[in-house]
Amino acid sequence: MTKPSILQVKQRFSIIGHSQELDRSIDIALQVAPTDLSVLITGESGVGKENFPQIIHQYSKRKHGPYFAINCGSIPEGTIDSELFGHEKGAFTGALTTRKGYFEVADKGTLFLDEVGELPLSTQARLLRVLETGEFIKVGSSNVEKSDVRVVAATNLDMIKAVEKGKFREDLYYRLNSVPIRIPPLRDRKNDIPLLFKKFAMDCSEKYTMPPINLTDSAKELLMNFRWPGNVRQLKNITEQISVIEQERIITTDILKKYIPENESSLLPVPISHIKETEQRTFANEREILYQILFDMKKDIGDLKQVVANIISESKNNSNVSESSNYLDSQLPVIKPDKTSVTLPVDFKVPDLNKTIQQKNIEKDDDIQDATEYSEEARSLHEIEKEMIIKALDRNNGKRKLAAKELKISERTLYRKIKEYKLEDL
């Protein structure tokens, strides 16, 4: 097979741009296509990673075989093994018939695993085996089956950090990363931005039969200097918005500013030192939430004991119960729950702050009594979790991918929680 030129590939797959890094990525895809090596495509969300598995498949000897693209982050954890490797009848509740998995039906073809970093560790072990030996076992079966599948994976995660944190198997990473391809972000392809804008404007014009929009020179400069955290996908969305909403076909800087976020710095990572302590806390599971609550409670109780000790030492000359109680109430700060604070589960009992000191007379040299009992209205962990999800979605304007990243959970887990708590309308 004659190797096509990079220009031919761009025309076939509608890839716009002239940056050297983009051309290099396409060239690597063409070089590796005739082989059966696994490929790992990395790059930020929205850069167009989905085009490269198709390039590899179409210019390989498997081009007449099946091609399947699977988003690993959108498949629930409990069914991902069944989706990839299939299952036998009766293997689990709801398995009414035997089902073939993608590795079986994609035999002699190519399998594109998008968001491969979201795979559970148990599934990663199965994937490693099929990559190394070509063998897999269906869920609920004991028979070893063979599959000849070319795997191309993609992720927007930092896989090295995922391996260091134990979220991704190191051996699987190196097995997938036989040939790495990095897709550059849009901010590193500034000269391609006006070309992409023009392409999207023309597509929108043809689709909705309207005159295409054009940018002034100053608007082009503004467009090129924007950071584009959403990359090509964000640029396309903004171009379509302007095309449909604006009556004026010549887009000036003033018009463009209405569609580009005013404060670009808000899209940059926030230094950890600028984040409040309560906002830095993230919890991988409910057990960690409970542990954090207990540690905070221990610290608060110690602080309250010190406050009460100071109050008692100052209340001299045989203060009676009423005076001591009133003095205590006046000195203690009013504790209000912070928006980001975590409250206790209902069944977790703590002492009552509102109880008065039981002694009638307090002598200067008497032992300090433990007057730190208090009670706190609490909610269940499910209510806490629901509130955290709602706030995360609100802070990220309903963008579930960003909310999942903030909560340090997978997008798949967030989808399941949203469905569980009936938050689909947020």
**Residue range 1-60, pLDDT digits in tens:** 678 899 999 999 999 999 999 999 999 999 999 999 999 999 999 999 999 999 999 999
CATH architecture type of domain 380-426:
Orthogonal Bundle (1.10)
| pLDDT over 70 (residue 374) | no
Residue 35 pLDDT: 95
The pTM for the full model equals: 0.61
Q: Which of 103-112, 139-148, 190-199, 310-319 shows the lowest mean pLDDT across its residues?
A: 310-319
Q: What is the DSSP letter of 87?
A: B
Strand, coil or helix: 258: coil
Task: For Cα atoms 229, 168, 144, give the angle at the middle one, nearest 5 degrees.
Answer: 125
The whole-angstrom separation of Cα 346 and Cα 10 is: 60
Task: Please state, in angstroms and as integers, the Cα–Cα distance from residue 213 to each residue in 65, 176, 191, 208, following that order.
Answer: 41, 43, 19, 13
Q: What would the mean pLDDT of 342-362 be, rounded to a whole number?
A: 46
Task: For Cα atoms 30, 48, 424, give the angle at the middle one, nearest 5 degrees.
Answer: 145
Residue 337 pLDDT: 45
Q: What would the mean pLDDT of 106-135 be, rounded to a whole number?
A: 95
Q: What would the mean pLDDT of 66-88 be, rounded to a whole number?
A: 93
What are the structure tokens assigned to 168, written together?
């991704």
Are the folds of 6-184 and 187-267 the same? no
- pLDDT tens-digit readout, 290-328: 656 776 777 778 777 777 777 777 665 555 544 544 544
CATH class assigned to 187-267: mainly alpha
Residue 377 pLDDT: 43
Q: Classify domain 6-184 at the CATH topology level.
A: Rossmann fold (3.40.50)
| pLDDT over 50 (residue 122) | yes
Q: Where are the domains of the chain?
A: 6-184, 187-267, 270-376, 380-426
Q: What would the mean pLDDT of 167-189 be, rounded to a whole number?
A: 95
